[in-house]
Chain A
Amino acid sequence: MRLTLRVWRQKNTDAPGAMATYEVDGISKDMSFLEMLDTLNEKLILEGEDPVAFDHDCREGICGACSMVINGDAHGPERTTTCQLHMRSFADGDTIDVEPWRATAFPVVRDLVVDRSAFDRIIGAGGYISVPTGAAPEAHATPVPKADADYAFEHAECIGCGACVAACPNGSAMLFTSAKINHLNVLPQGAPERESRVLDMVATMDAEGFGGCTLTGECATACPKGIPLPSIAAMNKEWLRATRKAGKR
């Protein structure tokens, strides 16, 4: 396959950026999108140009590092991560636009690489269960109904890639935040911190400069792990419950 790539190039956070056009040839349909970019980069290096910087690591769809908007879609046209997107989803002669995640809370580091540390701070604000090592009771001391365990797992699948934020017209992190809150709040182990968790995480999410939710549903459509949109409603419910409880104290 022969393709025309238009890629966002930006030296660093403060430098201005622009789309640059490249032609790549000899692309196999079996390549992953990142392998296609590898091919471009090998060519650029030998031509003495800076290769396109992009985040990637496991390349099997679980680490959440890869992060690019392809033809306007976070992670491209398939519902998966960029590393698991294959070139068979494109046709010979296509022009493909590749851009970084766009959100004020995710400043561009270079080219397609953005800073997603805001997500880590949201988790640090309450996305955990406080149980110092060694303090745990026997694992079977508290049975968890299977339905609850499955619900927790469904939300714990989030890989923290940030596609939800990139896809949201408001740059909102509600789907990410709600996934962790729903994972932990449904479990009996998470109950003691149920209220503080949601209040603190939502407050941090706001403080990091993410937008609010207008329920456009773009996030859930883009999510490679299928975190469902009702996750947000469930978090709102938790938040309202927590404010009610906080008021009684």
Chain B
Amino acid sequence: MALATRTDRRPSIARTFWGSTVGKKTVMAATGLIMIAYLAVHALGNAKIFFGAGDFNDYGHWLRVMGAPVLHREWGLWTARVVLSASVILHGVSAYQLSRRDLKARATAYVHKRRRASYATRTMRWGGIILALFIVWHILDLTTGTVHPGFQEGHPYQNVVDTFSTWYGNVIYIVAMLALGLHIRHGFWSAAQTLGVGNATRDRVLKAVANVLAVLLTATFISVPVGVMTGVVS
């Protein structure tokens, strides 16, 4: 007459996810991957700047009409914006809550300090904060133009050249993109582990993909301000 030792009552899936460290990490992994996918498209779009103002502005226009004629003007864009905003918020809130929990779980530091984890791993939190601030600036600068003196609605090429003609624009952008590279380097591999894709044999491949992604995206993004600075784009 063994006694029952398990209960069948379980919280809902949403609660299980949000209530668990593993679940919250899954949310971060999924939203992180959505954002990486977006960044890949974004990077390709950015590259069009090297083909002249016309090409680049056409791309900017297409963003508003994509999905037509099925989708009404800007419906596609707004869908993307909603998905992205939700991703950023969920990613950020999860990161904030998990970080608080992690700091609490190791409230006392060792007297003897030593570091071992890779730079990318250790900079996830600060890198994340830098990126969050950057996104705000980036939208205010190139989408709404709020912090962009002389912003011209509907002329993205000019606006980009304009931004990267200032020293602070370049500094903010390049620093943020380096942070992005580091963030993706650990984040992509980490997401794979969280989603349970990683195993001993796949580990090297996943790490290689993470490195390639990080380098490609960072290089592509940084090529734009470099292009402006060197006069390739003007």
Contact = CB atoms under 8 A, between A and B. Distances in A.
Direct touching of A and B (C-beta under 8 Å) = yes
Interface in B1-15: 2, 5-6, 10, 13
B109 interface: yes
Interface stretch (A27-35, A43-51, A86-94, A230-238): A230-238
B195 A69 contact: no
Interface stretch (A59-67, A140-148, A183-191, A239-247): A239-247
Contacts of A71: 112, 114
Interface residues of B, number: 48
B139 interface: no
Interface string A80-110: 0000000000000000010100111100000
Query: Contact size class for A?
Result: 35 or more
Contacts of B109: 102
A102 B101 contact: no
Interface in B151-202: 186, 189-190, 192-200
B105 A211 contact: yes
Given A72-B110, A196-B6, A211 B102 contact: yes
A25 to B, nearest CB: 22
A176 interface: no
B194 A236 contact: yes
Given A97-B112, A202-B20, A246-B13, A230 B200 contact: yes
Contacts of B189: 215
B186 to A, nearest CB: 8
Dominant secondary structure at the B interface = helix
A212 B13 contact: no
Nearest to B198: A233
Interface stretch (B21-29, B36-44, B49-57, B219-227): B21-29
Contact of B190 (A169, A172, A215, A247): A215
A212 B114 contact: no
Contacts of B110: 69, 72, 99, 102
Given A213-B25, A230-B200, A246-B13, A168 B111 contact: no
Contacts of A230: 193, 198-200, 203
Given A171-B105, A215-B190, A243 B16 contact: yes
Interface of B: 2, 5-6, 10, 13, 16-17, 19-26, 98, 101-114, 116-117, 121-122, 124, 186, 189-190, 192-200, 203
Q: Which 3 A-B pairs have the closest CB atoms?
A: A237-B196, A211-B105, A170-B102
